[in-house]
Each structure stands twice: as structure tokens, then as C-alpha cells.
Amino acid sequence: MLVYAIAGALLVSAASLVGIALLRATEKTLLRLVAFAAGTFLAGFFLHILPKISGLGESAFLVTLLSFTLFGIIEKFLHFHSHDTRRTIGWMNLLGDFLHNFLDGAAIAAAFKLDPSFGWLVTFMVLAHEVPQELGDYAVLRVSGFSRGKALALNFLTALSAVAGVLAGWFLPLNPLFLLAVAGGTFLYIAASDLIPLLREEVRDWREFWVALLFFFAGIGLMMGLRFLRP
């Protein structure tokens, strides 16, 4: 079963290569996908992560708050060293994505431990939200100043943390709800403190505002739709 779980994680990791479809995308297109990513991050937290971590009780909110605060400190530290706000957003996105993919891998491992068919179901559920999210992640990296090749490579390397998550979930007594709360704090921070302010700065006319808002709500709508696919 471990082999199947690793295969599922590799399949999910391959979703990071969907950015190839955006190699020739304009900055306007990338900004629209950043709006989409902001919608998916916020809705993913409130509609998927928050209900799951409620099992931790009040600790869920404390861990999320501490995670949110910690990532603010990490971002300021990175900014002091790079003096490039956009590049800092890119690195923060990679860090959050690393945690997210790690947790996806741990979830896949837990599902395969229960039953192989359930494991594949969870794998394809993860894949369903991973493809649009990876498009958004690639867009964030490109807007942050990373080259096309570097954005693809870093996105793929980060996605491979799903394999590490499978191994950790299979062999270590980790509390997945605790890790999920940490990841939730990172996504809430990235969306509210980085992506939305970036859009506010870069979207300069009403037409682009409404288009960006449409993509933002499309991200929310996708996360709402995925609620019906959860087992």
C-alpha cells in the first residue's frame, strides 16, 4: 500500500507542471490568476481547513493565529534580506505550498492505510484542487519576478514535498489536524497580506478590477464545488 500512496503523491506532484500552459502568458493574465489564487486560498481555508481543524477545539484558532503571525515575521525577515517585496511574496508562496503539499501527502497516506480504493479517491480529490491551485501558484511566482523556468522548477520541487508527507504520514505519529492548522494560517496570511494587496496595487482600471473580481469569485466557487466531492 505504501507504493500506491507514493504513486498517488507523485501524480499530485506532477500537477505542478500545468504552469507549462502559461509559459507565454502576459502579466495581465497572470494577475487574473493571482486573483483566482487569492479566492481559492481564502475559500480553501474557511470551507475546507477550518471545519476539519475544529476537532482541535480552541487550540485550532490559537495554532492558526500563531502560524499567521509566524509567517508575517518570516516574510519581514525575507524582505529585510531581499529588499524586493514581490520576490518575498513568491518565496512565502513556496513555503506555504510546501506545507500544503506535505499535508496532502500525509492525507493520502492515511487514506491508503484505511483502504486502497479510498486512497485513490482521496488522491484524485487532492488532484482536483491541486491543478487550479498550481496554476495560481505559478502565476504568483511569475508576478513575483521569477523566470518561467525557475518558477516551473521551484513549483515542481515544492510539490514533491507530497512524497515526504506520505512517508511521514505512514511512519510517524503526527497529528494531521495540528499540521493542517499551521498550513491554514499560512494560506490565510498569503491571501490576505500578500495577494490581495498586490492586486490592489497592480489593478489600475475598473475593467480589470471587475475581471479580477470575477476570477476571485471563480476561485471561491471552485472551492465550494469541491466540498461536494469530499467523502
Q: What is the pLDDT of residues 60-82, one digit of tens each?
A: 899 899 989 988 888 777 666 55
Tell me the average pLDDT of the chain: 82
* For range 95-121, the mean pLDDT: 79
Residue type (1 letter), 136: G
Q: What is the pLDDT of residue 214?
A: 97
Q: What is the pLDDT of residue 81?
A: 57
Total tally of structural domains belonging to the chain: 1
Task: Count how many residues are written for the chain.
Answer: 231
* For range 128-154, the mean pLDDT: 81
* For range 148-153, the mean pLDDT: 88
Nearest CA-CA partner of 126 in 162, 168, 84: 162
Write out the three cell numbers for 144: 513575483
* For range 137-156, the mean pLDDT: 87
* For range 9-38, the mean pLDDT: 82
Phi and psi based region of residue 26 (left: phi greater than 0; alpha: psi -120 to 50; beta: remaining): beta
Residues of the domain holding 40: 2-17+25-229
* For range 42-67, the mean pLDDT: 86
